[in-house]
Every structure is written in C-alpha cells, then in structure tokens.
Structure 1
Amino acid sequence: MSEISVRPLGEEDWSQYRDTRLTALRESPEAFAATVDEEEAYDEDFWRLRMQRSTRLLAEREGTPVGIVSVGASSDERPHTSELFGLWVSPEARGSGVATELVRAGANLAREQGRTQLAYWVGSDNGRAVAFASGFGFRPTADRRPMRVKSDDDEDEVSMVLALGGDRGSAPVTF
C-alpha cells in the first residue's frame, strides 16, 4: 500500500476541505453533530471562515483524500490545550494507519503551537475509539458532556487528554 501523507489546509483550500467534509458527512452521518444537508447549504464565505477558526489536516494517499481531522483551541480556560475533533477516515483506508498519522500530525501541530496537551472527546461507550485513543497515549479525564451526535441512548462523551511533554506515559495534567 502506498504512503500516507498529511498536510495542513489553508484558507485557499476551502473547497477541498468542504468536499472531504461533505463526503465524511454522507458516509458516516452518525459520527457528526452536523448533517450533510446543513453543510451543503453553506456558501464560500462560511467555509473560508471555518478554515480560519482551526487547522484542518488532510490525509492523502496518491493524491486522493483518505481522512481529515481538525485541531483548534480547547477553551479560554485551558490556553495550553488544543482540541482534536472531526476525525474521519474513508472506509477503504480504515485500519491502514491513516487515523494514527492524522492524530500524530495533530499532536505535533499542537506541540509546535506551544500547547502542552491535546484533548479528544470520545463516546464513552465507543470501545474502539477509546482503545485507539488509549493506545496512542490519551488518558481519560473526569470531564464528561452529553453526546453531541444523535444517539438512541444516554451515552456521554469523555475528554481524553494526551500529554505533549517528553514522557507520553506520564499522567496528563488534570483539569
């Protein structure tokens, strides 16, 4: 299988981000709070503004988009923490290391921006996502919130945090 490359998208790449995001919404509607119908209606100005709010990382294989993730500020109360969100990998690329490369690039970006932690909200009942994040070095915190995506049960999300210091095995700073 060919190599995976990950690159940040700039504002001028808004249409490529939009196309990949709409593909993700069509393919995995249950994974996102937004719907494809809502986001298809947005104009170019909206998409350009979205590109300015956080960094969008695109994973490609042979020039074809195979995954995307966003990295942005966590909150004003947590200035040393970036947040990873909107992670999606195309079905044909799942299990091939794309998610790992996207998360690695997101962690490196946050570190380069002077952040000491990377937060990632994961469905507490989503064993596969929790295992992936844990295997990468993310550790659960006490922070919980209701699921942002549509769900048939009362599942919540847990904030998992990756310490961006020297020892990935060390416990992250708690909030």
Structure 2
Amino acid sequence: MSGNGITIRHIGADEFDIFRRIRLEALRVEPSSFASSAEDWEVLSDKEWRQRLTDPVFVAFRDDEPVGVMGLLRQRSSKMAHRATLIMVYVRKDLRGMGLAKGLLDTVIAYALSEGIVQLELVVSAENPKAIGFYRREGFSEFGRIPGGVVHDGREIDDIMMARRLTG
C-alpha cells in the first residue's frame, strides 16, 4: 500500500527501534486489546527485540513515522505450516477507518500466500467490536471463544478466535 503519505513494508531485525516504538505505543494506548502488557516488552534487550523480528512484522508509515503494525506467526510443525496467526495488530486511532488496517492485512496476505500459507487465524478481544467487524468484513469467521482469555485490570475478558482461508 502506498498513497496519502502512507507506506507499508516488511521490516528487518536492523529496524528493531521502529518496531519497539510502534509496539510499545500499541501496548500503552490499547492495553486491554493485547495479551501482553507494555511492562512485558519494556524490559526486553535490543537482542530480544531483534529476535522478535525473526517472524515477519509489517509496519505502516505516515511519512517516516510508524503508525500501524501487523505481525505474522507461522505454525512451525510441518503438518501445520500452511497456517499462520495474525499478531500485534494496531493502527493509530486517528488513522482508523481510512483503509490502513486493510492495507496492512492485504500486505500480510500477499506475503503469506508467497510463503505457501493458506489459512490465517487470529484472536481478538470480545470487547473490541470494531476489530471484530473489520475481520468479518475481510472474510474471517468466528470458530471459538475463550472465556476469560485475558485478565486486564482485574477483569476477565473473553477472546474470540477467527480464521480465514486464503485460497479456494
């Protein structure tokens, strides 16, 4: 995706500072949307940040500023290597509803298909109806729910599991 000053690209381990900036922003701004907390990630060494980029991470930039992120975690066992999970999905609030999440998802899907991945899965907070609606519009179907999947501020929040086939 490119346009309106927005570009999306796969970042490498040498760009871990960009990743750290957008990941920590996401965790601080939307703490109830993620299984991890900012505190979990703030203590990581530079080496650990680089290691997190061994799985593909795509960052959306407005000019040179990171404004969105989406990661892909591929199943490792040979019989499941056709599947991957969307992780760390975040778009800066003032840019939501402008097609940026779709641009990130389209970029991730193109990459996934090039890697032989034919099924994407994700977990989304049951308290995030806008994200759930986005994923449904993009062809994801709910296949399960984890009651109390995360605990945030002493409250249990259900996780919704969704999947989408990328081919036939």
Shorter-chain TM-score bucket reads 0.7 to 0.9
- Provide the residue aligned with 2:117 in structure 1: 115
- Provide the residue aligned with 2:63 in structure 1: 62
- Provide the residue aligned with 1:102 in structure 2: 104
Does structure 2 retain, via aligned residues, the 8 Å contact 1:56–1:68? yes
1:63-142 correspondence to structure 2 within 5 Å: 63-74=64-75, 76=77, 78-142=80-144
- Provide the residue aligned with 1:13 in structure 2: 15
What do the CA deviations read for 1:14-40 (whole angstroms, capped 9, x no partner)?
111011111112211222222223322
- Provide the residue aligned with 1:173 in structure 2: none
Does structure 1 retain, via aligned residues, the 8 Å contact 2:145–2:158? no
Which of 137, 148, 151 lines up with 2:150 in the alignment?
A: 148
Q: Distance in 1 between matches of 2:153 and 2:113?
A: 33
* Alpha-carbon shift at residue 3 of structure 1 (Å): 4.2
Matched pairs, number: 165
Q: Secondary structure at the match of 1:133?
A: helix
* Alpha-carbon shift at residue 157 of structure 1 (Å): 1.7
Using a 3 Å threshold, how does the CA distance of structure 1 residues 34 and 97 change in structure 2: closer, same or farther?
same
Q: Distance in 1 between matches of 2:70 and 2:61?
A: 12
Which of 30, 34, 37 lines up with 1:35 in the alignment?
A: 37
Q: Distance in 1 between matches of 2:76 and 2:161?
A: 13
* Alpha-carbon shift at residue 8 of structure 1 (Å): 0.4
- Provide the residue aligned with 1:26 in structure 2: 28
Does structure 2 retain, via aligned residues, the 8 Å contact 1:4–1:59? yes
What do the CA deviations read for 1:121-140 (whole angstroms, capped 9, x no partner)?
12235322221101001112
Does structure 1 retain, via aligned residues, the 8 Å contact 2:6–2:62? yes
In structure 2, runs of 5+ residues without a counterpart are none
In structure 1, runs of 5+ residues without a counterpart are 167-175
Between the aligned residues of both structures, percent identity stands at 27
Q: Distance in 2 between matches of 1:33 and 1:94?
A: 21
Using a 3 Å threshold, how does the CA distance of structure 1 residues 73 and 151 change in structure 2: closer, same or farther?
farther
- Amino acid corresponding to residue 24 of structure 1 in structure 2: A
- Provide the residue aligned with 1:171 in structure 2: none
* Alpha-carbon shift at residue 85 of structure 1 (Å): 1.0
Q: Secondary structure at the match of 1:148?
A: strand
